[in-house]
Structure 1
Amino acid sequence: MIPFSLLEAVRGLDDWIVVSHEKPDGDTLGCGSAISAVLGSMGKRVCWIGRDPLPRLYSFLSESGIYSTAQPGEVRSSLGDGPVGWFFVDSSDITRAMDHLPRGPEDRVVNVDHHGDNGLFGDVNWVDPSFAATGEMLANLFKREGVRVSSPVATDLYVAMVTDTGFFRFSSVTPRTLETAAFLLSKGVDHSFVDDAINRSMDERILHLWGKALCRVRSAAGGAVLVSWLDQDDFVECGCDPSATEGLVNLIFSTPEGLMAALVTRSGGDLSRVSLRTRGGVSARAIAARFGGGGHERAAGFRLKESPEEGARMLLAELARDAVRLPSDR
């Protein structure tokens, strides 16, 4: 149920900071762009920020021009001493977006998300894991409240939905998901354009990077577990940034026997990042939680202190032990 306090907060505040999570994907960016556009159309002053740069892949989003990696404290100070709204989209925890929230005494924090392990960190929380994407949530909010959904805003939300559902291939898709997609298509979304923009955006550098990861895929437990890795030197050699790996773990996970797939990467810093995918009743969220991470039932993430190569080797053995414990009929 959409909390009335969310609508109250939106109507009551004139200044807003929209926040997308780190290593931004299509859901957090599509939602960030859409809510920025809608708030702007209501006469609000809007800033949209994120910890990491906007991937070139998503430069076509309607509000991509206002996206910034400026420090949250600097952005908050630029809006003055009055109350400000913070609108977090698709973030299960504040730390996925920033180290510290520099909120003023009268600020309000809105948290809209579909992760089941969301920490309910907002003053207003609308968290519903039954939705396949946060973009699906916002589309239904706008529809219910009679918010004008322009073609660019509909496209933003459609991008959020298709990227978080694998273009409607994942088990999270429901009849409501497809009904919501139909609603957005009726507002002028060009599905072919979105498909080309998302799925035909590679260049030679990205193909070479993916080739390195695919050549390193190792399997265990009769193919039920698949793991690969990329280190910082790979990104440098291929001339790619971290956003170039979006969708790669899904390709690794495309074998018929696969129940768990992990991609371990490090493009800078001291920690490796793990993207995890599961199916067949295996909970990606539960596995990620063992390593201090989280996410969805079928897609989750966490960090490791080990290098990508060491982490991949460790995960292959760890996930293989999990696979052995599964019922034999899976």
Structure 2
Amino acid sequence: MLPEAEQAFKDVIAEIKKGQNFLVASHVNPEGDAVGSTLALALGLRELKKDVTAYLYDPVPVLFRFLPFAERVVSKVNENIIYDAVLVVDCGQIDRLGEEFNKVKNMGKLINIDHHSTNDCFGDINVINSEASAAGEMIYDLLKEIPVRITRDIAINIYVSILTDTGSFRYSSTTPKAFAVAGEMVGLGVEPWEIAQKIYESQPLKKIKLLTTVLNTLEVSNDGKIATLVVTLDMINKANASKELADGFVNYARTIEGVEVGILLREAKIGEYKISFRSKGRVDVSQVSQEFGGGGHRNAAGCNIKGTLESVKEKVVSATEKKIYEMVAI
């Protein structure tokens, strides 16, 4: 961790030790790391006998509702509560906390803990470590430093954070430390087979039905380096599914032989699409997403773009092609 991040961690610990009432929050459309890191931190603060509210604007995805403390997550905030500090995890921009977060008026320090290099440092205290495999890894570091006893419930959440954000330890963000922390969590009682079964082998039938429709939208660029998939609101409705069930579909595009970048365009609402980028090797898709006001990691990023499906697809494919050609030219 960089020296400035280490100092920021000390500042965070000081705020935690002197405060009593905390709000822990993460981004809209939460995935495994957002949920896991939020819950791990909330449980860690409870170990310190602190009062904690865990907030996510969108519901915890079905696949992650087995996580300890997930049932206590709220999607509404009480604007009358005074928080000694608000801790935001795994969130690159404050507007990604959802409009409900705007009701939080009475708070002390706004603390921003994240591992995205594109984070815009919106907090009073910003702890940004782009070398971390997941926000959950950073929460592990924080809890160890305080120190907080890492219970089995905390360990499960940290493990799931790292497991999901490294693509089951397949992405380039997978580091020796990621394996070490995950291994330590297993030593604390996490059962890898049980977690894998709940996340990867308990898919709702409606998700599989939605996937069969989405795969029919597959298009590959002439040079074979870009593959796109589309999810429309109509597809979701006809499958009697929910938007969260499309999470991970982008990887089907990414895994095609010869493809450098997989792109999923999911219709968020009429006239707006949520774009997910996944890349292999040297293609930095976070730079592509930033062109459209988004962010993320080198090999996994996202953004939202308004427009028709055709215009949005043309924009993202064109920007991605440019980035790939820049890579080839290096």
What TM-score, normalized to structure 1? Answer: 0.92
1 CA distance for matches of 2:309 and 2:319? Answer: 15
Q: Does 1:6 align with 2:12?
A: yes
Deviation >6 Å, runs of 4+: none
1 CA distance for matches of 2:315 and 2:128? Answer: 33
* Residue-by-residue CA offset, 1:30-71 (whole Å, 9 max, x unaligned): 01111111112222221111121111111111111111111x
My pick for the range that moved more, 199-208 or 260-269, is 260-269
Q: Does 1:88 align with 2:94?
A: no
Q: Is the 8 A contact 2:288 2:323 kept in 1?
A: no
**Displacement of 1:308:** 3.7
Q: Which residue is equivalent to 1:25?
A: 31
Q: CA RMSD in A?
A: 1.9
Structure 1 spans left out of the alignment, 5+ residues:
none
Q: Does 1:200 align with 2:201?
A: yes
Q: Does 1:34 align with 2:40?
A: yes
Q: Which residue is equivalent to 1:97?
A: 97
Q: Which residue is equivalent to 2:64?
A: 58
My pick for the range that moved more, 246-255 or 303-312, is 303-312
Q: Is the 8 A contact 1:219 1:316 kept in 2?
A: no
Q: Is the 8 A contact 2:79 2:106 kept in 1?
A: no
Matching of residues 181-192 of structure 1 within 5 Å: 181-192=182-193
- Percent identity reads 24
- Whichever residue aligns with residue 218 of structure 2, its letter is V
Q: Secondary structure at the match of 1:161?
A: helix
Q: Does 1:211 align with 2:250?
A: no
Q: Which residue is equivalent to 1:272?
A: 273
Q: Does 1:69 align with 2:72?
A: no
Q: Is the 8 A contact 2:268 2:274 kept in 1?
A: no
Q: Secondary structure at the match of 1:303?
A: strand
Q: Which residue is equivalent to 1:311?
A: 312
2 CA distance for matches of 1:321 and 1:108? Answer: 41
- Whichever residue aligns with residue 217 of structure 2, its letter is R
Q: Is the 8 A contact 1:94 1:101 kept in 2?
A: no
* Residue-by-residue CA offset, 1:125-147 (whole Å, 9 max, x unaligned): 11100001000111122234331
* Residue-by-residue CA offset, 1:78-135 (whole Å, 9 max, x unaligned): x2xx443211010011101134644546512111100001111112211100001000
**Displacement of 1:21:** 0.5
What TM-score, normalized to structure 2? Answer: 0.92
Matching of residues 241-252 of structure 1 within 5 Å: 241-252=242-253
Q: Secondary structure at the match of 2:269?
A: coil
Q: Which residue is equivalent to 2:181?
A: 180
- Whichever residue aligns with residue 260 of structure 2, its letter is L
